[in-house]
Structure 1
């Protein structure tokens, strides 16, 4: 019995290790000086899943390296930037995919979350791939409007799973992150 439980635990550990976020490139909007960048970096460092941060002052980009096997919350990243007085201009997340089949306008379970892929061709994602978060508070109003026209699913407007999104897409109210490649 113990052998079976250990085997199940190892399989589960391998599954979570193969479906995870590795790092993110965050471009903040509204930064005007080194002190602004410093305030944002200090706020981001308080996130429990961030291992380290590199900063490029010329492009106001922060490279966040995530702790291995940590549960990453993209909304917490946005909230830390906004709490420092700025906004997210772009968030590109590098994730480790393990034979994940994606198609346009579909929901995919990933790392304990739901990703809604938009404006993508059917493909199988393997290894590290970068996806861009395109939710309302992660892109400009113009970009958000452009992607709004490309889906009929209500989750893009609400950011949460709704019964009308896809058959079997439960529970309603669960956060959905909209991404593109």
Structure 2
């Protein structure tokens, strides 16, 4: 009986730690919106994402705040695709993420919520609790900003977005896993 209680306690701890690192919400600024119908088309497209719980809008700043369903797998590329399919582009995407003692430093890769984040232009620190991170990949920011960030790293994966260009798995095989480049 004691072994069963210990096993259940361990399982509960594993489930808690797995859900501790997750995306909570995102502030998406769209470019190219000129009227209420444009905003409505983007809103409707974003609303179809399976991991979005609700959306708040700020039409004055062309910003949509996407609140994610707890425990759901969030795909940042799908957010970008929905905006582009509505006929617009992403000007900025800032994601609120819940961290649990995650050590970061410039040009470090970390696994987060089933994805790889490459932190750029950051000071060494430990992230704890909710933190806003900005996605700085191409098509998530302006061309001018992308060029500026490109000058701040020597890692080739920033331009291609794949780990094969800067990191190799332990067995030496290349990986096509998507890398999201972010900053704080």
TM-score using structure 1 length: 0.94
Measured after TM superposition, the shift of residue 15 of structure 1 is 1.4
Number of aligned residues? 181
Distance 1:21 1:170, change over 3 A: farther
8 Å contact from structure 2 (residues 25, 95) kept in 1: yes
Q: Counterpart of 1:179?
A: 182
Measured after TM superposition, the shift of residue 163 of structure 1 is 5.3
Alignment partners' CA distance in 2, 1:77 and 1:6: 37
Measured after TM superposition, the shift of residue 167 of structure 1 is 6.9
TM-score using structure 2 length: 0.92
CA RMSD in angstroms comes to 1.8
Alignment partners' CA distance in 2, 1:86 and 1:163: 30
Q: Counterpart of 1:137?
A: 139
Within 5 Å, give how 1:40-119 maps onto structure 2. Answer: 40-119=42-121
Alignment partners' CA distance in 2, 1:163 and 1:157: 9
2:25 matches 1:31: no
8 Å contact from structure 2 (residues 168, 174) kept in 1: no
Q: Counterpart of 2:23?
A: 21
Measured after TM superposition, the shift of residue 68 of structure 1 is 0.4
Measured after TM superposition, the shift of residue 84 of structure 1 is 0.2
Task: Classify the secondary structure of the residue corresponding to 1:69.
Answer: coil
8 Å contact from structure 1 (residues 154, 162) kept in 2: no
Question: Rg bigger for which structure?
Answer: 2
What whole-Å deviation, never above 9, does each CA across 1:117-162 have from its counterpart, x for those lacking one?
A: 0000000000000000000010000000111111111111111111
Distance 1:155 1:170, change over 3 A: farther
Measured after TM superposition, the shift of residue 6 of structure 1 is 3.5
Measured after TM superposition, the shift of residue 16 of structure 1 is 1.9
8 Å contact from structure 2 (residues 42, 86) kept in 1: yes
Alignment partners' CA distance in 1, 2:173 and 2:5: 34
